[in-house]
Structure 1
Amino acid sequence: MVSQKTFLLNLLWAFAGVVVCFFSAEAQSTKPGRLEVTIADAGTGKPTPVRVRLTQADRPVAQLPPEAAAVMYGLWDHADGYGFQPDSAFYVPGTFTLSLPPGRYQLAISKGPEYLDQAHELVIQAGKALKKTYKIARWINTAERGWYSADGHIHIRRSPREDPLLINWIQAEDLRVGVLLRMGDFWETYYPQYAWGEKGVYQTGDYLLTSGQEDPRTPEVGHAVGIGASDRVRYRDEYYLYDKVFDQIHKLGGVTGYAHQAESFHGYRGLVLDGLRGKVDMLELLQFCVSEQPLRTDHYYHMLDLGIPLTATAGSDFPWCGHDHEHGPPERTARIGNARFYTYLNGPFSYQNWKAGLAAGHTFVSSGPILELKVNSAIPGDRLNVKAGGNITITAHAYGHSSQVPLEALEIIGHDKVLGRVTKGQAGQSSEHLTLTLDQTNLQHGMWIAARCIAGPQQAAHTTPVYVTVDGGGFHNPETTERYLTLSEQYLTELEQELEKDQQKPEFQAWYYRKALKTRIDETRKVIDDLRKKLK
């Protein structure tokens, strides 16, 4: 017979065993699992840089894989972000590993608008490795057609050490060119670049980084952009005299323009002041800084109708602008490449060929759709001269994807008017391909002709025009000339009124340059008077 003492001891040992087994099982069930992911390009079969977002129950996973390409970024050049993007995504070179608690996760993979996004459900088990290989496929390859994508407006400080990491960023968004802009204001510069021109180019295969500037920037005249110059240009003591900067950038082999569709910061004043005097080459036509609808054409058509050629460009203005970067949900925050432009290269991909294509105006801007435009055999940026009474044939194509870039409408624009329009519901048209051909006969006056496309939410595209002239004349619009010349004078008057304000706010300094700016306003008014006589 077992004694009471022995019975109690055996009971205690049994209980201890149960406790040990319970905690061992509990420890086993909470032991991390391991996620090992490879993302390959479906075309090449090789790992490719991508953008990844990992969530659990709609919340971002706060762990960053060691393979993530991490570079400091932030507003005003502050360290607001590093490895994670504003929406908690991160960039990886094609593979990554993570140790994760057991559970169910959601994995989103993307690589710019030309690739099809992916979403996957993952189940991590305790103590086990989950190995996954995904292939990400294109729905279109613009580079095979000779068109190369670029984000012309990125703000990240750069040294040679960051170049390989930043190349991963633009490769992950399928941008062939990333333009890193040093930003300036009246007092200071931000996002420094270590070199300019050829010395500032970092290239890996068909992807490259280059330097540029967004400077000068003022609230009265707008934000100026320069790309492709062999050095930076800044005149601190003549800060509001943008034309001096533009002239020097041209001498250094670059192109000049205005940012933000010339809408914010009264950029339309500067566009008129400098554009009518032949100082401006390009305009950022598509961007998510002014509105959630990224394509804004009012000031673009203003200049074109006056016979001023302007190349259409686009850029994200990362990390400043997104699809409502202050108040929107994570998927609508600032993102490199969300606004981009494509440049046609006459030859293999290189920095010099890309610069030449940009200077020639062979571009279209896009937040999704792909556009092609030909007038006879001329492409965007070309000048096409015909004899009086001659004919031209205009052909436009828009390409999209039924789920990712669903096309809605394609239009051919001439002199600020819709010359022709097709929609996805018409016979022979679809959400993946829209096509339109028009004949213009018996031409007696030149005109600018462009194509534009509307697709899914916040998806649009627009070409630089083909500039058609008749017997060597101009391409201005006689019907709107007087209206736009009067509007130009109104903008100059606005600027003059600014000069009379002795501003107390330190960021407003135009009044200090009253004499020099009035001289330039008078020069522009003389141009307007001459245009009135010439374009009648």
Structure 2
Amino acid sequence: MRDDLTLLAAKQTLRLRAGFPCRWSVWSDDGRGWYPHGTSPARDIDGLPYFHGDDVVLEVPPGRLTVRAARGMEYGHAQTTLTPGDGETLVELAPPRIYDAAARGWYGGDLHVRLNRPPQWVADSQHGEDLHVVNLLAGDGDTEDLWAGRNLPWSDATHVARVGLAQDAPSVPSGLVDKLRERGALIGYANAFRGPVETPEQLFDGGYPVFDARMSVVDAALGLVDSFSSAIGSDRAYRRLIGAGNRVAAVAGTAGRLGPIGGERTYAHVDGPLTAESYAHAVRHSRTFATTGPFLELSVAGERPGATIDLQAGSTVRAAARVIGPGVQRVRLLTADGELASGPPNEVAAELRVDWPTYVVAVAEGGGLVRAHSSPVYLDVERRRVAREEDVTFCLRWLDLLEELVKDRGGLVAEARRVYLSRLA
């Protein structure tokens, strides 16, 4: 049934208050959603109506209503059912906190939000979801250059909003990449692969190469990108890239997903206050994990994701992963050679003897879309980085298939091939 924005002769109103901005859902027994005047109807991935704000007033129909308050992945939800009386009914609900990432130095960002919503909607959504960083992607035809390099007006000490640039991968000239990097920009792929990636051929079974990350095998080898979307559906392709000697961060973003922004987030460990620059610096150095909800910590010999530890062959290190959040069924520690350890939620730990270069990542898995994936801690051996033969061969085949689809501007595919072949040697 469609959502109604107005009611004829409505006498009841609700005032919703949490003490901070939230995501509110109000629905009647017939499933109809109710919204404040002037608010566009929206439904989340579970089909619930929602809008953002605090101390908001809306007209509602006679009869029983359900009211829910939520606030992004660091919070649970509070819910009540009531029958409003005549006049105004005050509903005070506050969603409980599950974890406080910022207290640990971690800040969550959505790096892929299309610039196709009114600014006020984005501002309300960012604060209502307690999303620390939002990157609004302006396409070639958008005219938001006014705000390039500056925080958008609703930013504050714990919420930063910036405008970035979205371009089709094959159309980005290398000169532009160099200029963007000189200005401190993050360069990465926002659209992840979907579905299984057991073979290179599965990367090319569907879709259109302009709109996905197929070019990442080239740009990662040439050091032209900082990150790769890996939280949902792309983790195996991501591990092929890092196993072949590429060093790119695990990131995530909502892209075209249904529901509020921040449904997938890139958490980055920031030293000092949160700024666009400090967050970008952390992502650029792979101090990240990508998640749809769980808070995931990885420690290897006391180091966080993004660190490189140079060891002597035969050294032993301790790796541990810890997860907080509902829905997680299993936590895994993975190296370039496969699973090191796994177990139920909370903490998983293991000792690892390092005889050749490798990496360690942590993965949290659950039902539905519950998932998190860390960037690696790299374990070099006598200054040699990981370049697993199976992963390098995978990337070489990936290059062969790519070359059949795209025009190799400037010989980039050939140059990337030389890089991978040198790693085999």
Superposed pair shares fold, TM > 0.5: yes
1:213 paired with 2:138, answer no
Counterpart in 1 of 2:196? none
Take 2:413 and 2:21, find their aligned partners in 1: how far apart are those partners? 49
User: Aligned partner of 2:415: which letter?
Assistant: E
Counterpart in 2 of 1:380? 305
Counterpart in 1 of 2:383? 472
1:204 paired with 2:156, answer yes
Counterpart in 2 of 1:65? 36
CA offset at residue 110 of structure 1? 1.1
User: Aligned partner of 1:59: which letter?
Assistant: G
Within the candidate set 239, 245, 265, 2:176 is matched to 245
Q: In the alignment, is the contact (CA less than 8 A) between 1:105 and 1:121 conserved in 2?
A: yes
Q: What do the CA deviations read for 1:423-447 (whole angstroms, capped 9, x no partner)?
A: 2xxxxxxxxx511121123x32121
Counterpart in 2 of 1:17? none
CA offset at residue 531 of structure 1? 2.1
Equivalenced residue count is 401
User: Aligned partner of 1:182: which letter?
Assistant: A
SS in 1 for 2:271: coil
SS in 1 for 2:174: helix
**TM-score, normalised relative to structure 1:** 0.70
Task: Mark the CA change 1:416 to 1:60 in structure 2 (over 3 Å): closer, same or farther.
Answer: farther
User: Aligned partner of 1:177: which letter?
Assistant: V
Within the candidate set 78, 81, 84, 1:124 is matched to 84
CA offset at residue 360 of structure 1? 1.5
CA offset at residue 352 of structure 1? 2.3
Counterpart in 1 of 2:316? 391
SS in 1 for 2:150: helix
Take 1:394 and 1:496, find their aligned partners in 2: how far apart are those partners? 39
Within the candidate set 392, 405, 415, 1:485 is matched to 392
Residues 440-455 of structure 1: pairs in structure 2 closer than 5 A: 440-441=352-353, 443-455=354-366
Within the candidate set 252, 261, 278, 1:353 is matched to 278
Take 2:49 and 2:10, find their aligned partners in 1: how far apart are those partners? 25
Q: What do the CA deviations read for 1:18-45 (whole angstroms, capped 9, x no partner)?
A: xxxxxxxxxxxx8622222211xxxxxx
Within the candidate set 299, 305, 308, 2:243 is matched to 305
Q: In the alignment, is the contact (CA less than 8 A) between 2:244 and 2:420 conserved in 1?
A: no
Q: In the alignment, is the contact (CA less than 8 A) between 1:372 and 1:396 conserved in 2?
A: yes
Counterpart in 1 of 2:110? 151
Take 1:277 and 1:339, find their aligned partners in 2: how far apart are those partners? 27
Task: Mark the CA change 1:174 to 1:191 in structure 2 (over 3 Å): closer, same or farther.
Answer: farther
Counterpart in 1 of 2:372? 461
Task: Mark the CA change 1:518 to 1:194 in structure 2 (over 3 Å): closer, same or farther.
Answer: closer
Counterpart in 2 of 1:504? none
User: Aligned partner of 1:36: which letter?
Assistant: R
Q: What do the CA deviations read for 1:143-199 (whole angstroms, capped 9, x no partner)?
A: 11111111111012478xx3x653321121121111101134xxxx34845321236
Q: Which has the higher contact order (CA 8 A, sep 6+)?
A: 2
Counterpart in 1 of 2:330? 409
Take 1:197 and 1:158, find their aligned partners in 2: how far apart are those partners? 20
Q: What do the CA deviations read for 1:65-121 (whole angstroms, capped 9, x no partner)?
A: 14x7x5xxxxxxxxxxx4645657343321111232321112122101211112221
Take 1:398 and 1:32, find their aligned partners in 2: how far apart are those partners? 47
Counterpart in 1 of 2:58? 98
Q: What do the CA deviations read for 1:235-257 (whole angstroms, capped 9, x no partner)?
A: xxxx3x55343323222211212
SS in 2 for 1:245: helix
1:419 paired with 2:312, answer no
Counterpart in 1 of 2:22? 50
Task: Mark the CA change 1:456 to 1:487 in structure 2 (over 3 Å): closer, same or farther.
Answer: closer
CA offset at residue 495 of structure 1? 3.2
Q: In the alignment, is the contact (CA less than 8 A) between 1:382 and 1:467 conserved in 2?
A: yes
Take 1:340 and 1:99, find their aligned partners in 2: how far apart are those partners? 34
**RMSD (CA atoms):** 2.5
SS in 1 for 2:214: helix
Counterpart in 1 of 2:139? 183
Flag the structure with higher helix content: 1
Counterpart in 2 of 1:167? 123
Counterpart in 2 of 1:7? none
User: Aligned partner of 1:265: which letter?
Assistant: Y
CA offset at residue 206 of structure 1? 0.8
Residues 1-80 of structure 1: pairs in structure 2 closer than 5 A: 32-39=11-18, 47-62=19-34, 64-66=35-37
Task: Mark the CA change 1:446 to 1:108 in structure 2 (over 3 Å): closer, same or farther.
Answer: same
SS in 2 for 1:194: helix
1:523 paired with 2:415, answer yes
User: Aligned partner of 2:189: which letter?
Assistant: Y
SS in 1 for 2:125: helix
Within the candidate set 350, 356, 379, 1:438 is matched to 350
SS in 2 for 1:60: coil
Take 1:153 and 1:355, find their aligned partners in 2: how far apart are those partners? 14
- Structure number, greater radius of gyration: 1
Question: What percentage of residue pairs aligned between the two structures are identical?
Answer: 21
CA offset at residue 522 of structure 1? 2.2
Q: In the alignment, is the contact (CA less than 8 A) between 1:112 and 1:337 conserved in 2?
A: yes
Long gaps (5+) in structure 1: 1-29, 40-46, 71-81, 222-238, 287-293, 322-332, 424-432, 499-509
Q: In the alignment, is the contact (CA less than 8 A) between 2:243 and 2:392 conserved in 1?
A: no
CA offset at residue 350 of structure 1? 2.2
Take 1:274 and 1:406, find their aligned partners in 2: how far apart are those partners? 35
Q: In the alignment, is the contact (CA less than 8 A) between 2:21 and 2:52 conserved in 1?
A: yes
